[in-house]
Amino acid sequence: MYKKIGLLLILFSLILTGKAFGEEVTVSSSEELREALSSDREISIIKIKPGRYNGNFSVEKRVHIIGEKGVKLFGLESGNVLTIEADDVIVESLEIEGSGSQNAGIYVKGDRSYLHHNALNKVFHGIYARDSYGHRFENNIISSFDSVKRHKGYGIYLVKAPNTAVKGNYFYDTQDGVYVSYSDFCEISGNQMLKSRYGVHTMDSRNILIAHNQVTESINGLMIMQSYEISIMENYFYLNTKIDGAGMFIYDTFDSKISSNIVKGNFRGIVLENAKRNRLEFNTFLENDTGLEIGINSTDNTIYLNNFYRNTRQIISDKDNSNYFNKEEYGNYYDDHSSLNMNSDSKVDFAYKSGDVFYQMASKEPLLQVFFQSPAVELWNTVEQITPIPSDSLIVDEAPLAKPAQVKWEENTSETQVSSSSHEMDLILFFMIILFASLFILMKLGGSAMKLKHFFVIIGLGLLLTACSFAAAGPVDIKLNKDSCDVCHMGIEEMESAAQLILKNGKPVLFDDIGCMTEYLQTENPEYEAAFVHDYQSKEWISFDTSSFIQNQNIDSPMSYGIAAFKSKDDAAAFQREYGGDAYTKAELLNTEIKSFKKPGMSHSH
């Protein structure tokens, strides 16, 4: 009996093994690729050699497609370039372009697809998944058509595609970066969106996690519509400055959590409209024209432990709304609230009032907008704020915070400066202790030459220890395929292209491309102890500050900036003479529009 069961188990395992480990084939032409995709043979892996592959292709069985560096699929400019009909398909490292005017680079109909490290451009939609579930779309670079005469589609479009994860992708020049429609339980995290209509757009969806994304130069960073139980956490929405745009527009949205986000330099930070029973906490509203705008029919929202800094208008609201601006006797922090705090506790003694009476008038008489930010209106609003008489037209926070709420940012410049200064003070104090201890010992020993020699030895040791404490920081180890770039969020897979900063507080910031580090230095202007890149020839770590650079479109780098670093000017000049390109010093590189190096159509080299 047991022998029969054992034989059956062995037979069953052999059958499964045969299916799991099918044939691996390599193709080098469009015809060979089409034949491999349609073959009746058990093929588990298709490796594609570098080259141009023309036509539209269909995947109708489970397979793992791997493109070598330089593989480009050119569609027919009608229909979808690559259609995935089967379940459990993996596609990686392909460049795809040339879809129809309303079609996708990759159209997914099967379940559980895994698409990663692909570059899609000159397509309508990048990836379009419909009537399927359980996908993973990670570390792709996606843009739409580059012509102003052609309509743009969505970077990743999910329609009835629940349980899908969209992580670590880079989107630029798309209609929306990610559009989630009728798709529940999805995760949108670690993506970067540039120059879109909306960075992330949801419609009629529930239980969506939107976390650690960056959206800039778009109309709205987020557009959340007719959605329930959305978690929006630790995102960064900045410089979305178009009129009527916002870092986040929360419309027809209910029972959601908006926590620990940074909205900076937008026309409006966060807008609520017909939004109910949502919780806004630990968000930072910084340097927006309007920090928080609460539009019509937005009630029963809890807004507390948020920080408002240097917004032209901190909060404005429709006068008929009713919301909660504190919870458990803790409100929000406003940098323009100068009321007294007599007992020096965590809260200001008098309520904060905002809401902007001028906003109420201008909403009824739009022509009054010409007086926006005029001295008269600013004075009017200031008088209204400090008047101790409550008013129905004002937002009233009864428990404003005396100090900003503690928010865990990935990088907090002020904290970095404090910790750095504190570290330096500790070292100075340490040296002073050694100095006075040495003087005390000298006095005990007397003033002979031999004893004086002891004193200078001790002082020398003190200086040596202090100097060691100030020694220049060295590069940290990077774990390939585990660590990721702090700008583009791509996994670091090529050590020779990697770069890193060591901040003043000792924290390392990692990058998969010199261009990413340059962009970070230009936008964030961090205080750093040291910066390192790899020498293009020796592959060893060298100082970024003293390196010479050549930029050439033929230089391969993960994010296609095409920048190579050299330890000496002579090495850079020799490379330039042989291969061409433009030469840069560190200062010249930092003063260049770095994004101009990264042209549409150039792919990452993962």
Last residue of a domain, one of 360, 384, 409: 409
417 and 432 share one domain? yes
Pick the last residue of a domain from 452, 469, 486: 469
Closest CA to 272 of 238, 213, 346, 222: 222
Same structural domain, 228 and 325: yes
380 with 436, same domain: the answer is no
In this prediction, residue 15 carries a pLDDT of 44
Angle at 135 between CA 129 and CA 141, to 5 degrees: 75
Q: 426 with 372, same domain?
A: no
| Predicted local distance difference test score (pLDDT) of residue 83 | 98
Judge if 25 and 144 occupy the same domain. Answer: yes
CA distance 603 to 513: 13
* CATH code for the domain in which residue 549 is found: 3.30.450.410
Confirm whether 244 is domain-assigned.
Answer: yes
Same domain, residue pair 368 and 499:
no
- Looking at residue 39, its pLDDT comes to 94
**Number of domains the chain is built from:** 4
Q: How far apart are CA 27 and CA 70, in angstroms?
A: 14
As given in the structure block, the two tokens for residue 127 are 């990836």
Closest CA to 495 of 510, 505, 473: 510
- 281 and 395 in a single domain? The answer is yes
Is residue 465 located within the same domain as residue 513?
no
Shared domain for 83 and 229, answered yes or no, is no
Residue 263 contacts by C-beta under 8 Å, 6 or more apart in sequence? 221, 237, 238, 247, 248, 269, 270, 283, 284, 285, 286, 288, 291
Map 239-283 to HEC letters.
CCCCCCCEEEEEEEEECCEEECCEEECCCEEEEEECCECCEEECC
Q: Kindly state whether residues 259 and 404 are assigned to the same domain.
A: yes
pLDDT in tens, 240-262: 998 889 999 999 999 999 999 99
pLDDT at 432: 58
Residue 169 lies in a domain: no
Segments in the chain below pLDDT 70: 1-21, 338-339, 355-374, 376-394, 408-473, 481-482, 489, 599-606
Does residue 98 sit within a domain? Answer: yes
Report d(CA 554, CA 557) in Å as an integer: 9
225 belongs to a structural domain: yes
- 58 is in which domain, residue-wise? 18-162+178-187+203-211
In a domain, 40, yes or no: yes
Q: Name the residue among 480, 488, 401 with its Cα closest to residue 213.
A: 488
Residue 280 lies in a domain: yes
Q: Would you state the pLDDT for residue 339?
A: 65
Domain-located, residue 276:
yes
Euclidean distance between CA atoms 140 and 124, whole angstroms: 16
